Amino acid sequence: MKKIEAVIQPHKLEEVREALKNIGIDGMTITEVRGHGRQKGHKEIYRGMEYHVDLLPKIKIETVVADSRSEEVIQAIAGSARSGKIGDGKIFVFEVADAVRIRNEDRGEGAL
C-alpha cells in the first residue's frame, strides 16, 4: 500500500476531488495547512507595520491506496491540481506497513 500525500492550492481542492472520484477513489483526509516551497509570500501593511507572510494557506490531501493504483492516483492529482505556476504544490508517496478498519478490524488492502 502507498500513502499519497499532496499539498495543493486551496482553490484546486474541488477539481482534485472530482478527478479522484472519476477513478474511483472516495476515501481521503483533508487538512488546512500553511507552508511554502519556492513560492514567495506577500507583504501586508497595517498602519505602517510591515509583515511578510510567506507561510501561505494550502490544503493537504492524504489518501492510502493499493500499490497498483498509486501511479494512477498521482497522475489524477497532478493533472487536476496543476495551474502551471509556482505554488501549485507537491506530492509525496510513502510505503504503508498496514491498515486497520476500526469497526471490524479488517486488515491490509481490505481495510481501504
Q: Strands of the chain (E only): list them.
A: 2-8, 29-35, 42-46, 49-53, 56-65, 89-95
User: What size, in residues, is the chain?
Assistant: 112
User: Is residue 54 at the binding interface for another protein, with CB under 8 A as the rule?
Assistant: no
Of 56, 50, 65, the closest CA to residue 2 belongs to: 65
Q: How many residues bind to another protein according to rule CB under 8 A?
A: 7
In degrees rounded to 5, what are phi and psi of residue 67? -50, -40
| 52 DSSP β-pair partners | 43
Establish if 102 lies at the interface with another protein (CB under 8 A): no
Identity of the residue, 48 or 84, whose beta carbon is nearer to another protein in the bound complex: 48
At its nearest, how many Å lie between another protein and the CB of residue 94? 30
Asked if residues 97 and 3 have their Cβ atoms less than 8 Å apart, the reply is: no
Q: Segment contacting another protein (CB under 8 A): 6-14, 21-29, 39-47, 92-100? A: 39-47
List 26, 38, 49, 103, residue binding another protein (CB under 8 A): 49
14, 44, 54, 67: which one contacts another protein (CB under 8 A)?
Answer: 44
Contacting residues toward another protein, per CB under 8 A? 44-49, 51
